[in-house]
Amino acid sequence: MSRAAWLWATAAAMVVLILVVGAGVGIWAWKTLHSSYKGYSEAELLHEVLPGQDAGSILQELEAKGVVNDAFLARLYLVRVLGDPPLRAGEYRFDTPLTVPEILDKLVMGDVVTYPVTIVEGLTLGETAAHLAEQGFGDEPSFLEEMLSAGRISELDPEASSLEGYLFPDTYSFAKGTSEDEIVSALVSTFVRLFERDVRPALLPEDERTPRQIVILASIVEKEARLDEERPTIAGVYVNRLRRGIALYADPTIVYALKQQGRWDGNIRRPDLKLDSPYNTYLYPGLPPGPIASPGLASLVAAARPAEVPYLYFVSRNDGSHVFASTLAEHNRNVHKWQKVYWQKKWAEEKANRNNEP
């Protein structure tokens, strides 16, 4: 074989070898990228991606923890195939074998772990802030600062001086590190969305009340009612009293006034009925100056469309339900039965039971 022929044969063999090796590397890389992998022993692994952290260090950390099987290939795939999109900060949960594209999709989409928190109906602004802080979602003073700023609700209620009444009670899910600002905004935006979807359509065309007046009434209904079916009737009682210029005599407004003054200890006493506060609806006729709690959707709809009832009074049956009356005489009889006789009998039974204990 001539030298030239030998050189051509050698070159051809090297090309073939390179192609074979390249194909082998390509096949290996493809298999590595698309093979489901779980290199950690735990059933579940949580990993936090920090704000501003670069993709290379994120993938190296995930390789070290056994989530990614090859950080270099994962980075190459992210850049060459996906176009190098940013990876989102947050806490991620890994609990099943995943391919590199699946892991990257999770990080690009920001499929972070979220934690639920429930805001129950009837909480005040301060109670909501305390509850969120107790559940580990932020700092109570920071929550209060956000909630005392009424800007988020100014379009719906230009007269609002805080977000009292506008922090919608519901179950929410927030990712670790969600700011107090974002959480409060979520509560308010949920309120506005549901108000426009369910509450405003419930208003009669001739109803000239403002959203603020609806929310104030709804907050009182929320604190008075326990049964959903009674909410429209209770709202109707208060509307009747407002139309006739009769004071509302709503105990929850006194409780709110006492809370504002740091004097609420769980009981309303006779002197409290004379408390000089615009929220004392025993002294001041009409609606109080603002909401006294966060009403739920059922109370909001009831306030928007109160029942047409003849009643002016109601008293608790002590089981969550109420008995209603149209006249003061009838109401006084109900009060005697359910607030005097009922409790006298109950206390007597409790005393007898204690005396019979061995």
**Chain centroid to CA 93: how far?**
22
Number of domains in the chain: 3
Q: Which residues pair with 49 in a beta bridge?
A: 90
Q: How many CB atoms lie within 10 A of CB 210?
A: 12
Assigned domain for 35 exists: no
Q: Are residues 194 and 237 in the same domain?
A: no
Q: Note the pLDDT of residue 109.
A: 93
Q: Are residues 230 and 192 in the same domain?
A: no
Give the pLDDT score at 19. Answer: 36
Write out pLDDT tens, residues 242-289.
999 999 999 999 999 999 888 888 888 888 888 999 999 999 999 999
**pLDDT-flagged residues of the chain (< 50):** 3-23
**Contact 279/289 with Cβ under 8 angstroms?**
yes
CATH of the domain at 99: 3.30.1490.480
Q: How many CA atoms lie within 13 A of 108 on its CB side?
A: 15
105 and 121 in a single domain? The answer is no
In a domain, 19, yes or no: no
Identify whether 236 is part of a domain.
Answer: yes
Note whether 88 and 174 are same-domain residues: no
pLDDT at 349: 66
Q: Which of 57, 92, 112 is the last residue of a domain?
A: 112
For the segment 129-181, what is each residue's pLDDT rounded down to a tens digit? 999 999 999 999 999 999 999 999 999 999 999 999 999 999 999 998 899 99
Q: Same domain, yes or no, for 186 and 133? A: yes
Q: Tell me, what's the pLDDT at 298?
A: 97
Nearest to 121 by CA among 209, 194, 225, 230: 225
* DSSP characters over 269-288: -GGGGG---TT-TTTS-S--
What is the chain's mean pLDDT, rounded? 89
In a domain, 26, yes or no: no
State whether 190 and 151 are in the same domain.
yes
- The pLDDT value recorded for residue 11 is 38
**Has residue 168 been placed in a domain?**
yes
Domain coverage including residue 334: 209-344
Of 91, 112, 133, at which residue does a domain stop? 112
The verdict on 169 and 95 lying in the same domain is no
Q: Are residues 75 and 175 in the same domain?
A: no
**In terms of Cα–Cα distance, which of 139, 122, 234, 235 is closest to 183?**
139
pLDDT at 342: 75
d(CA 331, CA 311): 10
Which stretches does DSSP call E strand in the chain? Answer: 45-49, 90-94, 114-118, 171-175, 313-316, 322-325
